[in-house]
Amino acid sequence: MPKAYSEDLCEKVMTAIELDGMPITEASELFNVARSSIYRWKQRKQETGSLKAKKSKGATGIIKDWDKFEKFVEANRDKTQEEMAKLWSESISARTISRALKKIGFTRKKRPMAIENGMKKRGRNLSRLGEKLEQPI
């Protein structure tokens, strides 16, 4: 979800429209804001009396108990995100599982260095070189 416009910008635009009588189309071009956003701000101001943006729920709105989720992940670490989504107690998408895993810092990507790859130097494989030296001439 894109980041919300600053409350300061919303106030400037609404002041130009309400007090100065600027048309919405002109304000849209002047402040480089979509007309649909200005209509939304106008409606929000009528309904709530404020121009503050609504907070996004994201994964935090669906998963309430993060300790329970961490234990669930530890118990099901061999499962795919789709399988975890099916096993979770509430209805949840695989993408939400992905965001939640990122939030708790869980990753499957490990970078173990293979010994043979670590011994390569300038295009030569030193482990094979050692095998050749041990063979009788």
Asked if residues 83 and 76 have their Cβ atoms less than 8 Å apart, the reply is yes
pLDDT for residue 51:
85
In a domain, 39, yes or no: yes
CA pair distance 4, 2, nearest whole angstrom:
6
pTM: 0.45
What's the Cα-to-Cα distance from 66 to each of 93, 97, 101, 130, 135, rounded to whole Å?
A: 16, 12, 10, 51, 59
pLDDT for residue 73 is more than 80 = yes
Which domain does 40 fall in, by range?
Answer: 7-48
Asked if residues 104 and 73 have their Cβ atoms less than 8 Å apart, the reply is yes
pLDDT for residue 122:
58
In a domain, 112, yes or no: no
Alpha helices in 32-80 (DSSP H): 35-48, 58-62, 66-75
Number of domains in the chain: 2
In a domain, 119, yes or no: no
In a domain, 69, yes or no: no
In a domain, 92, yes or no: yes
In a domain, 114, yes or no: no
Instruction: State the residue for tokens 């030569």.
Output: 124
pLDDT for residue 85:
92
In a domain, 41, yes or no: yes
Which of 10-14, 50-54, 106-110 has the largest mean confidence?
10-14
Instruction: State the residue for tokens 């409350």.
Output: 7
The full length of the chain comes to: 137
- Helical (H) or strand (E) element with 121: strand 120-121
What's the Cα-to-Cα distance from 29 to each of 7, 25, 34, 111, rounded to whole Å?
A: 18, 6, 8, 50
In a domain, 42, yes or no: yes
Q: How remote is the C-alpha of 68 from its chain's centroid?
A: 21
